[in-house]
Every structure is written in C-alpha cells, then in structure tokens.
Chain A
C-alpha cells in the first residue's frame, strides 16, 4: 500500500526528533531509512506504526489518514531490533498472537501460521521457545509474526544489527526474497549504508531529523545531493579536500587542476570556497589529472589494496586498486584522479 508522510514533525521536549519530513513510500517497494544514530530514522518508523504520536503533519495509508489512530488500528507489522519475541510462548503461539487478539478461529490461525512458517522456513521450529532459537531463527520468527496478518506495511528496525556477520549476509538476501515474494511494502531502518545499498529499492538519507536526499542506491552513490550524503555512502569512504576556485581551476595546497567543464558552466566565481570529493576508485595510477603524494598507509585486503595518499599540503586521499599492493609505505608516487567523476561542493555543502 502507498504510504505518505506529509510534513510530519515530532518533538521530544524542545528537541525536534523529526522535522517537517515529507515522504512517499510507493506500493510494493523496499525503502531504507539511512542515517547516523540520532538522526530520527527510528522515530520516523515509530511515527508510521503509531507508537509515537506526531505533533504536526499527516500520515496516510492509501487514502486513509491514520495520524490520529492508535497502533492497534493501523495495519502495520513491525520487526524490532531486539526481535521482541514473547519469551513465555512457543514459536507458533508467538506467530499466532496477532491473529488470536483478532479473535480468528483456531483452525484459521493454525493454517495461517503454517503458511507463513513455510514462507520463512521455520516449519520445524514451531514448538520451540524463543530462548531455544539462534539469532537468525529468532529473526525469522519475528518476521513471520509481523507478516502473518498481511499488514499494509512492514517496518523493520535495524533488523540485522543483532546478528553476527555471516548471518547478516544471509538474512540480507533472505529479507529481500521475502519482501519480493510477498510483495509487501516495507521500510527498513539502518545505519549501515552497505545494508541500505544492497537491499533497498530506494534510500532516504536523514540527518538531524531532516531528509537530505531520496533516491535509488545508484543515484545516491553517483549523484549525492550534498557533502553529507557523499560522505555517508560508499565504503571505503570518499575523501574531501577544501580549496578555492581560481581562474577556472581548483586550487588547494599540493593540488591544482583545471575544473571540469560542467563545473565551469555552473556559476562558480573566482575566489569561491569549494570542496573536492574523490571516491577511492577514481584515484588510480593512470588517471588524467595528476596528483603527487606520499603513501602513508596501505591495507592489503587480498583481493584489493587500499592506500592512503598524503599530499604536500596535508590533504589525505584514498585509493582502492585490485590486486596486491604495487608500492611500499613512504613511496612518493604520481597518480591521477578522474576529475569528471569527482564531486565538487559549494561552501553550503551542496553538490555543484
């Protein structure tokens, strides 16, 4: 179902946890709310499911305004970060609980529980207690409980944060499969950009209670709207260098090159402060715009190597190259950056 948040604001005392958030969640998509901790993403999630009452704005499920409705009367399935399984009930009782409070018949409950248990592959665990399950199994039970009554929307709060690394990878694709198979509209809250990039149809980046950018993972990566988004997305992260525009050139200590045409055409004036952002893959030995630096750190990850380059002026850039390291710590190198693929931000942090 299509979910719309229209100018939603939520305050805790004097602090605005979410500030004038407007957002449309398209029917059947998986949307990721991404941001550092304290950015308001979980508050947004709780506003949608009704645990937090919003102070102003509207929330629409389809055409129905739910802003004033309590959580019980919104059709929302939630998977909590700690899974929040009921410890004194068996797995099947846990999954059946939402149906039971709706007073559905025993046979009906049993049928639906079996069906959803098959879907999330926990058929053989139905008689167990939550304490007898592994983290990944608990996660599956929590998802089953959230989707058993076919809610309008499924919300997942940091669903992978409590799992170990290997399981996280497995559950990532598993969640995606379940979402695709059921066709349910889903919102996932995460602080991990890799999770958001790999799972979602669209990403919403939030900081300080505001939405900074909404877009597909690809747009986020290649066309970040501002410096924060560029810095948040991408691993290893982008490197920044502050400089000035002088005579159509980007100038900073240790680096001086011709600005790409698209930047020149955009209204940059001489003397303007400007920030360069270069992703590690756009700094390679044979790229066009030369850069002279000293290698100050090498991390060999086997398949690829990560270098830190320190310029004469103290700016640090990163480069990632496949294969074994090609130089040693302390080497003076002359590599190049791809100025066309690099980002430039004005002094407000907006991408030019």
Chain B
C-alpha cells in the first residue's frame, strides 16, 4: 500500500458499515452467558445455564450434543473426502484426456451445479427408502457429495488446466507412465486446489440442513443443523438462550477453519483463471 493513499477514511467507512454485523456476533456470545430482561439490551447477570446442553445425557426429547456433533463431523469429512478424491481424477480426465462426450460432460456439469436441490428432494427420498439408505448417514453423505460433485470437478479441472502440457510431456519422455506423471508431477502442482476444495466441501457438509432434515431425521443420525432446528420447532417450549448457545457451538468450527485456511480458500477463485 502506498503511503500517500490515506486509508483511515476507508477504514472508518468500513467500520461503520460492518458495525451492526459485529454487534450481532458480540450479542450472540453475550446472550449465551447472561440473562437479559425482555425489552432491554443491558444484561442483568452472568450465567452458564444455557451451556448446560454440553453435559446433558441423551433424553427422549433430544439426543446428546456430542453424538450429534460426531454425526456432523462424519458427514462433513466424508463429504470432503469423497468430493476431493473423485474430483481429483474426474477433473484430470476432463482437463487432459481425450474423453468421449467431453464437451457434453462439461456443459452438463454447469447445468447440474445450478440445479436446485429442493426440487429433487422427494425423488431422492423415495430412492433412498427403496434402497434402504433412508435414515442413515451414508445415504445423506452420498446424496450430499453427488450434488456438490459437479462443482468440485469443475474447480479441479480449472486447476489442472493451469499445469503446462510440457511438464507432462517431459515426464512421459523421462520414462514415467501416465499414472506416475499424474501422481508425482501433476498432483503436487494442484495441491492448493485440493486443500481449498477439501475445506470448502467440509464446510458445505457441515452447514447442510435440508438433506439431513428430510433424509435422516431420527435422533441417532441427527446432525447439528437438524438438532438446532429441532430446538425451535417445539411449539410450547422455546429456549432462545439454549438456541443461541448451540448456534454458537455450531459455528465455532466454521470460524476456526476459516481463520486457518482463509488464504488457501482464496485459491478456489484464482485456480481457474491463471495461465
């Protein structure tokens, strides 16, 4: 940044604009550890009452938070692993190999990516019930991963497109098989893409609500988003303190991941355009 460019007016403007957002986050935290009388914004007293869910055993009404978190974690990680491993090979094939119907696949992926998930939900429900994967995590994972797949393949294709052809030619000339070339010479160069896509797919699985809500509602396979929604679905028993505390608990991993991987995530937008 050049020194003659004054940055403080800009900072001030951004500060004012983002202040309401900051306030929301601050109150998300404050509300979970205090008691505030209705109509006021000044908290009355400190309490950890709302965080009691962390230590609750599973009851008839709701499952234990830890088993739900584990389910969410499994869904997110499996989504990430499936997406990354299939995109790694599919993206390469579409970028480099002479696949039949290549342009058809590419165009089809764009359309699939834009397809609204909700419209498919009934048929997916029926299919899962027929094959016996209704109310299982595997069912949700398969559906979730396949819906995100076009995006993943497309992103990885973009990364592969930036690797120079001559590197592959050189590898082949050096005596390596096409597979070795892919694994030892090409993969290391699209590594940033994998990291970004992996994190992205994890977060996407973590935040998924509609699929697990419809396809795996029972308490032993519930994920955090469904658990959270369940808290306010009850007509007679609202506990906004608890809702906010669980909400905060739910978003902490997202914020942490973002803090660790923000540079890497930006690659997803750079990958397709360079070279």
Contacts and interface: CB of A to CB of B under 8 A. Distances in A.
A76 interface: yes
A84 B175 contact: no
A50 B189 CA distance: 25
B195 to A, nearest CB: 14
Interface string B188-209: 1100000000000000000000
A98 B175 contact: yes
A273 interface: no
A81 interface: yes
Contact of B185 (A49, A51, A86, A149): A86
Contacts of B166: 80-82, 84
Nearest to B166: A84
Nearest to B176: A101
Nearest to B191: A88
A86 B171 CA distance: 9
A74 to B, nearest CB: 8
A78 B175 contact: no
Nearest to A148: B174
A71 B173 contact: yes
Interface string A146-184: 000100000000000000000000000000000000000
Interface string A65-108: 00000111000111011101011100000000110011000000
B172 A71 contact: yes
B142 interface: no
B173 A86 contact: no
A312 to B, nearest CB: 53
A78 B167 CA distance: 11
A87 B169 contact: no
B164 A101 contact: no
B229 interface: no
Given A72-B177, A101-B175, A101-B180, A78 B170 contact: yes
Contact of A77 (B173, B177, B188, B189): B173
A86 B172 contact: no
Nearest to B181: A101
A82 to B, nearest CB: 5
Interface in B230-263: none
Interface string B40-80: 00000000000000000000000000000000000000000
Nearest to A98: B174
A197 B164 CA distance: 31
9 contacts: A50-B173, A71-B169, A71-B173, A72-B177, A80-B169, A98-B174, A101-B174, A101-B175, A145-B170
Interface of A: 49-51, 70-72, 76-78, 80-82, 84, 86-88, 97-98, 101-102, 145, 149
Shortest 10 CB-CB contacts between residues of A and residues of B: A84-B166, A98-B174, A84-B170, A88-B188, A101-B176, A80-B166, A78-B173, A71-B172, A101-B175, A72-B175
